[in-house]
Amino acid sequence: MSNANADSETTAPASTGVQSVDRAVSVLEILAQRGEAGVSEVAAEIDVHKSTAFRLLGALEARGLVEQTAERGKYRLGFGIVRLAGAVTGRLDVTQQGRQVCERLSEEVGETVNIAVLQEHFAVNLHQVRGPGAVGTHNWVGQLTPVHATSSGKILLAHLSDKERDDVLAASGTKRLTPRTLTSRTKLEQDLAQARERGYAVTLEELEIGLHAMAAPIRARDGEVVAALSASGPAYRFTEERIHALAPLLMRGAREISHRMGWLG
């Protein structure tokens, strides 16, 4: 048997599996849009034979992700979807609770305001509001950013346990992104200790040259830090002095979101 044949036999099942997953997700999206649909409708929508659509729906039904309506032959989303959605409810909630605060804060600070959470070993931005003085059109929403070089990442790191922080930094590393990036673990730990002490983290051209930022912690009902509220802007205007002067405003905003999340601290 040639290597080429061996490769094709190895990759074919994986390719088929990915296609099945893609089709299953498409089925869920169709039901989400339509409310309910029959096997024939689903088959036509994803361009497969009815027997394939029936098998996909059967597999999803077995997991509780879809269910049949009283009228046989029609399917709708099942309550298994709620179980999956529960895994991200907290993140969706912090965005919902923080939206109004972000809008007000962006006006008061005049810079871009973001809410970010820890995703594996990255800080991922969930929500962004651009201030009236924001420069450029960069959209940070959905972006995975390095924890050691962003203010959001730093404040999230600062409130992890030592073991959790070790694990995150072991996975992420401390790559030098600019001449000002903190790559020394000792210096980073000192910076994180300072962030915990004063209640906010700062980055000065550590992610990008010309970009400054600060972030404060958002807490859940039990006091755990679950997200970061940040403000960022151009270094020539969002200077280190201005950052420290505006920090109390940012921390008040983070506390307000925390209280909306149920924190009573």
- pLDDT at residue 121 is higher than 70: yes
Q: Is residue 201 part of a domain?
A: yes
Torsion of Cα atoms, 108 then 110 then 114 then 115, to 10°:
-10
Residue-level pLDDT at 95: 84
Residue 71: pLDDT band by 50, 70, 90 thresholds?
A: low
Task: Look up the CATH number of the domain holding residue 60.
Answer: 1.10.10.10
Query: Which tokens hold the place of 157?
Result: 């790191």
Query: Which tokens hold the place of 118?
Result: 């820890």
Give the range of the structural domain holding residue 31, as residue numbers without chain letter.
19-77
Residue-level pLDDT at 81: 78
- pLDDT at residue 14 is higher than 70: no
Task: Look up the CATH number of the domain holding residue 108.
Answer: 3.30.450.40
Residues 94, 70 share a domain:
no
- Give the model confidence (pLDDT) of 232-260 as tens digits: 999 999 999 999 999 999 999 999 999 98
Residues 40, 107 share a domain:
no
CA-closest candidate to residue 72, choices 30, 39, 28: 39
Residue-level pLDDT at 80: 79
Residues 62, 179 share a domain:
no
Residue-level pLDDT at 11: 44
Torsion of Cα atoms, 143 then 250 then 259 then 90, to 10°:
0
Q: Count of domains in the chain?
A: 2
Residues 47, 118 share a domain:
no
Residues 136, 58 share a domain:
no
Tell whether pTM > 0.85: no
80's enclosing H/E stretch is: helix 80-85
Burial readout 80-112 (b: 16 or more C-beta within 10 A, e: otherwise): bbeeeeeeeeebebbbebbeebbeebbeebbbb
Q: Is residue 4 part of a domain?
A: no
Residues 135, 23 share a domain:
no
Residues 174, 45 share a domain:
no
Distance from the first to the final alpha carbon of the chain: 68
Residue 4: pLDDT band by 50, 70, 90 thresholds?
A: very low
Residues 134, 63 share a domain:
no
- Give the model confidence (pLDDT) of 159-203 as tens digits: 999 999 999 999 999 999 999 999 999 999 999 999 999 999 999
Residues 27, 153 share a domain:
no
